[in-house]
Chains A and B, each alone.
Chain A
Amino acid sequence: MENQDNVLEVRNLEINFDTFAGTVKAIRNVSFDLKKGETLAIVGESGSGKSVTTRAIMGLLARNAKVANGTIEYQDRDLLQLSERDMEQIRGVDIAEIFQDPMTSLDPTMKIGRQIAEPLMIHKNMKKDQAEAEALKMMKLVGITNAEDRINDYPHQFSGGMRQRIVIAIALINYPDILIADEPTTALDVTIQAQILHLMKELQTKINTSIIFITHDLGVVAGMADRVAVMYAGQIVEYGTVDEIFYDPKHPYTWGLLNSMPTLDTKENTLPSIPGTPPDLLEPPVGDAFAARNQYALKIDTQKQPPFFKVSDTHSAATWLLDPRAPKVTPPATILERQKKYAAMHEKAVAEAKRAEQEQHRSGEEEG
């Protein structure tokens, strides 16, 4: 580990898929860290490689996937080098996953108590009764009402939201260090979404786990994540804290994403969208993969891939617009508004901090 605060370090990950049409370069040099106890959101549209990244961490890549390069370091071991048997000891114990569709991710013919207890029976050698007693505790923890009566029910007897709670219970039963949530609320109603997100936040502090939160829904990210990584065409294009990504985004793709997200301030009747479609990853474009859809694209974008330009200690973006030689561009109006709000927030925070300091100073004087 480069940093003691990190529980997971992904470095230079490259994953290709062999298909009939050729080799799809699904993940192209992705690096990121996951810090202890934090929630990292990976945001991007379908096919950007978010799920493939998590599959790689779980060691559950499809058969035709090949890891071409990179390391995934966890507890001083490279997960990509581990044998299947060693990975089995990590999956469901240290690293667990919540899936997208609770309607299909539970075994339809097995009682849910048994399904929740199973990881304990496999990894902790618990007997069925003991494991199910633990399962019952976990069912209560994830908010399943009448857990005692429902432990012997089957998945079809639960609603979607309840089933996702069961899936969460399965993932958390061994108190994992890392929880991967792959679009855990996409298949749920909006009201249920909020409940599940709230539950995840609450449980995160209770069992002290780090979360990798995969989503295409920026609205979900705001309340959930500490840091955000934006993925496009198999690469991370920008990462930073939630505030930095939401209020001071630097990459035109992030601008596009935020611009196409309705807010309470949205006044227009039409919702802007990013024109075009993501590039074909059989032949990834030279230069910036987003160039073809980018109204701010420079000439160099089609020739050379942009490196990461550091905006702050926590914030970097891979766009030539941040190069000192690049011409100044004006981001879309909504983004400017966000930046203004952020600046105001920042000023307020600074002012408040100053006042607090002065007050402390004054009280110090009075005491003296």
Chain B
Amino acid sequence: MSHYYGQFINLLAAILLLLSFAMLGQRRILSLINLFMAQGAVLCVSTATVAFVTGQSHLYWSALITLLLKVILLPWILHRLIRRLNVKWDIETLINIPTTMLIGIVLVIFSFNLALPISELAGTVTRATLGIAIAAVLLAFLMMITRSKAVPQVIGFLAMENGLFFAATSATYGMPMVVELGIALDVLVGMVILGVFFFQIRERFDSLDIRHLEQLKED
């Protein structure tokens, strides 16, 4: 029975990776938020599954927090934000999408190579997914680098946190509850601060393009 659960978790991990690539390639902010929401949902389900298989009851709480925060609250805030900022249209990237994808594939290979010795040591049912978790972190990071608008960068930041969370669940059945709550709070606070920041940037430069921030540099 537990074999099927293992397969199920692997499936979810694959979906997570797929969603990461989708986010990397997505130009529209609105779809980006929906993809982020889907990623949160996958994360929530996988955490709950791990909790069910291993009987680690605190992981249910993690799953619940994920559901509330990443599937409901943050996408809602982001939706509101882009409506008020009026920036739902296409976004340009610094490097074109196919090149980004190729770099992404290299990153995934690197991550799997990296995770190989660790997964052999780990005794968890989810050990095979560690490579995917690392890849998700790196892909989100890559997305932050390649986007020039502020909102997609923040989504990249949040997606990176998703990857970290997934890595924690797959390697050690999650972090202690205190740490998890702390991180959740951090993400929320970071979101609020960045939201305020968006308005400041727009007020100053009439645009959310962060390339304008280059003017702040002192010569």
Do A and B come together as binding partners?
no
Which A residues are closer than 8 A to B by beta carbons? Answer: none
Which B residues are closer than 8 A to A by beta carbons? Answer: none
